Structure 1
Amino acid sequence: MLSVGDLVATTLIVTGYPAEVGAGWLDPLLTYPGRLDVSLHVEPVPAQVASDRLRKQRARLEARSRAGQHHGRLEDPETEAAAADAAELAWRVARGEGKLFRVGLYLTLYATDRQSLADEASAVRALAESMLLRCQPATWRALQGWTTCLPLGTDQLEHTRTLDTAALASCFPFSSPQLPVTDPEDEHGVGPVLYGLDAASSGLVMWDRFAQDNHNSVTLARSGAGKSYLAKLEALRLLYQGVQVFVIDPEDEYTRLAHAVGGTVIRLGEPGVHVNPLDLAADGSVDQLTRRALFLHSFLAILLGQTPTPAEKALLDSAILTAYRTAGITLDPRTHSRTAPMLTDLATALTAAGPDGEALAARLAPYTSGSHRGPFEGPTTHRPSGHLTVYSLREVPEELKTAASMITLDAIWQTVTNPHDRRPRLVVIDEAWLLMRDEHGARFVSRMAKSARKRWAGLSVITQDAPDLLATDLGKAVVANAATQILLRQAAPAIDAVTDTFRLSAGEAAYLLTAGKGEALLCAGPGRRAAFQSAASEIEHRLITTDPAELIDDAPDADPGAAR
């Protein structure tokens, strides 16, 4: 025992460890309610020294086993298990798959008097025993134990245990025990992203969407709960790790972030910025024309405001092929590099098809020659490229938001499906209800959610309209195909639908009803849930916040390099 100011302290040395541990296994010690300092000292062992020691250890274990057999003794399970572990570790070190480290784990407790300290020591030792840890007091070395647990980086007790890389990684003190650590050998993994602080412990919630069964996510929250804030934070941190990010931004919330990181902002709806719905993909596939015709059927249904009848579908299909033939484009892949026709060319082909075609062309007139023609009246002016591309739809009229969201998502999808440019990508659809409210838009998002993983892409669907999303089969399909599901504060009318869909407990439902701004529940399958508070650095916060009170003194955004 050592007197430290008005307190007394004692140090416990961890001398025994469990055979197997999981991620965040030190969390019970880190969240102990009393005053407890946990000190972990790590010293790497040189590769040559590690090999020599493992060879000697294996020789000793083998000699002990043979001696027992020579004297007719039964096999010692502990010796055999230790020999097998030593052999496996030796091979991993020899192949460079792991290293050895000397690790010392020490605990220093504080209390106001001797009796309280003895009670605290008993409680901590009982907690350690429940974790299969054996502890011994640092008898006659109280001063050395206390200084060892100070943030000085010196181990004066030098009571260490040799651990390999994997075992040491599980000792990382800030991981969330509810979520598994990403497999470092997963060749498809980009690496974990910090989402925030674990609400139930002192750990961090780190998650790698690209290491899951699929790379999609769904974020549901009421307005003002912080869903877009969290989406921008994840996108920014994925940019650090080489992920290409595309964003459909209806409310111009991502432009400040794009300007700061050198991204591209395409402001659809402004004069001179167009996206041609009839553009063919540049992936060299032989079925480009067929796939484009199928997409145009869905896109034109959105413009027309209803699903065409079978007769109207036949007229539209004929007009689509006629417009391409007029432009010199046929099923022959060699013609696919020619300039694509425009929406006005399609209207011309419809007009030439007779009275029924003229009626369809008249219904499309607002988008070909009327007041809504702006986004579609010219060839595509900008292609999604670079590490971050934001399609800002703020200038698009409300009546065109659904159509604009779909055409920009299609332009992004053409880039994602290009087989000549494979890289991890994230497609963010903010305010996804703009697409999900229309059957054809919802079907397009659903198909994309099912096939994005094959293109090494993740689809992030963000919406505040949870009941409508969960009320349709297509919305449920999008949720079902999202391995990462994030729930922030929910409105009371929506909580029942959310509870049933995500199988929330009563406590989790109550948490979502009362959650503060930025507080969320990450769901990743049975038994893998973690409540957390999103956390950003000061610099990150300035880039992603949209709070008017915080932006009132900021200068207006100005970036001459932004696409307009």
Structure 2
Amino acid sequence: MTPHATDVVGSLVWSADDGGVWAVWQLQPFAFGPLVPARDKMRAHGAISHMVNNLPGPSLLFSLCEPTPHSVLEGLMLHDPVPPRWGSYVQRILSQLEGRTVYHRTFWLAARLPDGRGSTWKAALDASRGFLPGALFSKRRTWRSEDDVETALRQVTAIELEAFGPIEHRRATAADIEWMIARTPRRATWGEPANSTWPDRQDSPSGRLLALNDAIWYEGGSREDEGRGFRRNYIRVETPEGELGYQTAIVVADLPTEATYPDGLAGWWYTAASANLDGDPFPVDWFCFVEPMDAGPAQRFLTRRHRNIVGQHEEYSGEPTGLPDSVQRADRDLRELRATLEASPGTKLLRVGMWFVIGAPDRAVLEARARALTARYPAGVYSLARPIGGQVPLVRAGQPGASRPRALMDYQHYLLPHDLAGGAPYCTSDVGDPAGIPLAVNLSSGLAELVYVDPGYGPRDLDRSGSVLATGSPGSGKSYTLKSMTWATVLSGGQVVVVDRSASREYVTLADAVPDAQVVDFRVGNVSLDPLACIIDRDQATTVATAFLSILTRVDLLSPIGAGIREEVEKVAMAGGRMADVIEALRQRRDTVDVARVADIYRAMSGAAAVLAPNLAPVDLTAGYVCISVPWLTLPEAGTENPLPEQAFGLSLLYLITAVSQASIMSDRARFGAILLDEAWALTANEHGKALVEQIIRAGRKEFVAAWLASQLPTDYPPEIADQVDIKLVFRQAGKATSDALSMLSLPPSADRIELVERHLSRGRCIFRDVRGRTALIQVLPAIDPTLAKVILTTPGDEAEPKPKTGAEAAA
């Protein structure tokens, strides 16, 4: 069976159906879904409406599910050089996926260029010549010239400038188009090709396209199919490689008569993306053939149709039931269309045909998947049909260059651009980074795709902060997630410094599973945390030392006494002294002697020697994983105005630990580093601590560092911190904290979202917003490394790993 293309040059396709030239693009989708802010959805709607309204002629909007080979998955998780243990961990992940095909969704547009050749007999003859038997020609003849290509490319550029606007796109390659053609008969078979591994090409002659499309197609199946019956609304396909597959096309027969966007019954393309069978997702390709009409011809066309409708009024005038609802609805819709086109002459009317294609290795699975997809659409609102006959043309019409299949003639829709955009055709729930640590499974995407997190992606590639905010009630999975990120970051070559205040020393235990780990306990008294000794930059050391004394003694640095503290710290720093020298210098001044006396109160406290002892060696924080264990640290409750001496010392020491860790991490800009602060409220509730966290977040863009913060309440993060962080994770919450958490994600607290956060976020499941602002529901992956699995959970009675609850989670 011949393909619809006779020749391919780059993104240009010479059509065998209409003799015209088509251009193909890959488009980057917009974020969509119940967890995406309405303003983002409206922005996507406007961009898609504009694009569709500026299409030059017949066009195919389509989305294909591409299989991802394990070799590609491996490349997404590895980078040079590969640390040994990280490479072993990646291989363990791939072994878990053995026997499964991992898909990801891609989005495309094919548009016929306005060259005026499609209606001429010569163009049709030229198109057909490409498929005449090779024996008639001594060599393949080329039925396009260089001038044709140059003209087409100029038109492609004009379309890009006029139609795409904010939509990110790239021109397809000949390899992309070859893959689409080769994949059509091999959909959902074990031999289904992947675009990512398809050989790169600049052009594709007709003979090669013919070979790629080679297959035996059985419309309605064959006698060998068990239970074939009379409803032969499927295809049996036998590929040259000897593989057998089954496919079916499902046409959108009826759309909702009224659908609100973005949160109503619209978004039918997005709905198909989340199809699953018994919790196990399966790939669904969708296609939309669009023929635009300018306002003038559209008005004349609608007028003729409206006259037919008005003529039916007299037919039913004598009926006791009056005019049928369907006729009244058609009358109303036509009036609205005509009014819109009259008010906006630049708006086009679109004749649209829409269909889905699914495949399966056997017919029983195909039928089950078809029922599952149909069930995704409410009966009485949407109507989906599986035509008997015409299945092969429908399936093959998903290739660029194809004309409208005949089977769509009975299922035509007349829509305005904003109506079509309401179906969310170029929208997805993808989250995460292009590559990196496999952290979770995306439960919103419909394909159980892995969610990758590259901690350095934001500051390195996007000039954005790589910092993370996590909030959730106890036991919801905050610490579990941050431990997973910590473990993977260190294994892949990064650095994480964590301040462990837990009595169970949970992050100390994590050191048993992490290579290049160092545990620091300042009570031992063998290392110094003195900022004047640990921080190389003199100005930074002076600032940290001054802030430490301010927190410790509760002296306002803008007061005369505060100015005196600053002066003495600067003098001692210039002389190469230590904090003990600062205390003695303060003792010699009349205005600061009381500060020295207050500092003396803390000398006997546990851990004080790490700051005030004069001769200890500075702490070394260069290991890949550094855990500073301070379970003995006493901190005041949030909002405490008059903390006890032990609490004031704990607060000042926590600030100092964080500041010294920041300075150490920033000293190596070639390696990504993160400071992990569990129960971060203790630091953010203090002005100096809040300023320090802000500094880490702001500096992260240029210093290749990040702050990873976890706290139970969203209000523990002041707006000046939360607003600067892109990556956020919201775990289970309750009460007012639920609304606060949703607001932190810029999501209005609707009833559905509140129910999700309070009742359906089991441990390890959370709402995740990535560094690019996209939001989705994810399930953090269980620890498959045996060493990590033993230490990652510390709650009494916990199992070794969280249990997946759905087939989508188990799939990954």
Per the shorter chain, which TM-score range? Answer: 0.5 to 0.7
Name the structure 1 match of 2:619.
Answer: 382
Supply the distance in 2 between the matched residues of 1:87 and 1:122 (Cα, whole angstroms): 27
SS of 1:130's equivalent in the other structure is strand
Identify if the C-alpha distance between structure 1 residues 346 and 509 changes in structure 2 by more than 3 Å, giving closer, same or farther.
Answer: same
SS of 1:520's equivalent in the other structure is strand
Deviations 1:393-425 (A, max 9, x none): 113344243222221112212222226x52122
Supply the distance in 1 between the matched residues of 2:355 and 2:198 (Cα, whole angstroms): 25
Q: Does 1:403 align with 2:615?
A: no
Residue 28 of structure 1 deviates from its aligned partner by 11
Residue 219 of structure 1 deviates from its aligned partner by 0.9
Letter of the 2:26 partner, please give it.
E
Name the structure 1 match of 2:728.
Answer: 485
Residue 270 of structure 1 deviates from its aligned partner by 3.8
Matches within 5 A, 1:257-268: 257-262=510-515, 263-268=517-522
Name the structure 2 match of 1:279.
Answer: 533
Name the structure 2 match of 1:352.
Answer: 588
Identify if the C-alpha distance between structure 1 residues 295 and 111 changes in structure 2 by more than 3 Å, giving closer, same or farther.
Answer: farther
Equivalent residue pairs, number = 443
Q: Does 1:63 align with 2:142?
A: yes
Contact 1:428 1:461 in 2 (8 A): yes
Identify if the C-alpha distance between structure 1 residues 38 and 435 changes in structure 2 by more than 3 Å, giving closer, same or farther.
Answer: closer
Residue 468 of structure 1 deviates from its aligned partner by 3.4
Using CA pairs under 8 Å that are at least 6 residues apart, name the structure with larger relative contact order, 1 or 2: 1
Letter of the 1:528 partner, please give it.
R
RMSD of aligned alpha carbons: 4.9
Residue 233 of structure 1 deviates from its aligned partner by 0.5
Residue 496 of structure 1 deviates from its aligned partner by 2.6
Supply the distance in 1 between the matched residues of 2:154 and 2:541 (Cα, whole angstroms): 70
Equivalent residue in structure 1 for 2:507, among 235, 254, 274: 254
Identify if the C-alpha distance between structure 1 residues 129 and 535 changes in structure 2 by more than 3 Å, giving closer, same or farther.
Answer: closer
Name the structure 2 match of 1:373.
Answer: 608
Residue 543 of structure 1 deviates from its aligned partner by 2.8
Name the structure 2 match of 1:285.
Answer: none
Supply the distance in 2 between the matched residues of 1:114 and 1:229 (Cα, whole angstroms): 53
Supply the distance in 1 between the matched residues of 2:606 and 2:490 (Cα, whole angstroms): 38
Q: Does 1:130 align with 2:286?
A: yes
Q: Does 1:361 align with 2:596?
A: yes
Q: Does 1:536 align with 2:765?
A: no
Letter of the 2:715 partner, please give it.
P
Residue 483 of structure 1 deviates from its aligned partner by 1.9
Residue 318 of structure 1 deviates from its aligned partner by 2.3
Identify if the C-alpha distance between structure 1 residues 360 and 520 changes in structure 2 by more than 3 Å, giving closer, same or farther.
Answer: same
Structure (1 or 2) with the larger CA radius of gyration:
2
Letter of the 1:226 partner, please give it.
G
SS of 2:766's equivalent in the other structure is strand
Matches within 5 A, 1:20-169: 20=26, 63-66=142-145, 100=199, 114=229, 118=233, 124=250, 130-131=286-287
Q: Does 1:297 align with 2:546?
A: yes
Residue 370 of structure 1 deviates from its aligned partner by 5.6
Residue 524 of structure 1 deviates from its aligned partner by 3.0
SS of 1:63's equivalent in the other structure is coil
Deviations 1:84-127 (A, max 9, x none): 8558989xxxxxx9861889999xx9998747884896565767
Supply the distance in 2 between the matched residues of 1:527 and 1:372 (Cα, whole angstroms): 41
Residue 526 of structure 1 deviates from its aligned partner by 7.8
Supply the distance in 2 between the matched residues of 1:74 and 1:428 (Cα, whole angstroms): 55
Residue 529 of structure 1 deviates from its aligned partner by 0.7
Name the structure 1 match of 2:796.
Answer: 548
Letter of the 1:537 partner, please give it.
A
Contact 1:196 1:535 in 2 (8 A): yes
Identify if the C-alpha distance between structure 1 residues 392 and 77 changes in structure 2 by more than 3 Å, giving closer, same or farther.
Answer: same
* Unmatched tracts of structure 1, length 5 or more: 1-16, 31-36, 42-55, 91-96, 147-158, 164-175, 184-190, 283-287, 330-339, 470-474, 553-564
Residue 368 of structure 1 deviates from its aligned partner by 3.4
Letter of the 2:765 partner, please give it.
E
SS of 2:778's equivalent in the other structure is strand
Contact 1:197 1:532 in 2 (8 A): yes
Name the structure 2 match of 1:463.
Answer: 711
Residue 353 of structure 1 deviates from its aligned partner by 0.6
Name the structure 1 match of 2:568.
Answer: 319
Supply the distance in 2 between the matched residues of 1:103 and 1:256 (Cα, whole angstroms): 57
Letter of the 2:621 partner, please give it.
P
Residue 500 of structure 1 deviates from its aligned partner by 2.7
SS of 1:247's equivalent in the other structure is strand
Equivalent residue in structure 1 for 2:489, among 229, 238, 242: 238
Residue 135 of structure 1 deviates from its aligned partner by 8.8
Contact 1:65 1:75 in 2 (8 A): no
Contact 1:196 1:204 in 2 (8 A): yes
What is the TM-score of this pair, normalised by structure 1?
A: 0.66
Name the structure 1 match of 2:388.
Answer: none
Identify if the C-alpha distance between structure 1 residues 76 and 504 changes in structure 2 by more than 3 Å, giving closer, same or farther.
Answer: closer
Supply the distance in 2 between the matched residues of 1:489 and 1:458 (Cα, whole angstroms): 24
Q: Greater shift after overlay, 517-526 or 238-247?
A: 517-526
Q: Does 1:447 align with 2:695?
A: yes
Letter of the 2:443 partner, please give it.
A
Supply the distance in 2 between the matched residues of 1:29 and 1:86 (Cα, whole angstroms): 18
Name the structure 2 match of 1:512.
Answer: 757
Contact 1:215 1:482 in 2 (8 A): yes
* Unmatched tracts of structure 2, length 5 or more: 1-22, 32-62, 69-98, 104-129, 131-138, 160-170, 178-195, 201-211, 235-245, 253-271, 273-283, 289-353, 367-395, 401-426, 459-463, 636-646, 801-812
Letter of the 1:300 partner, please give it.
L
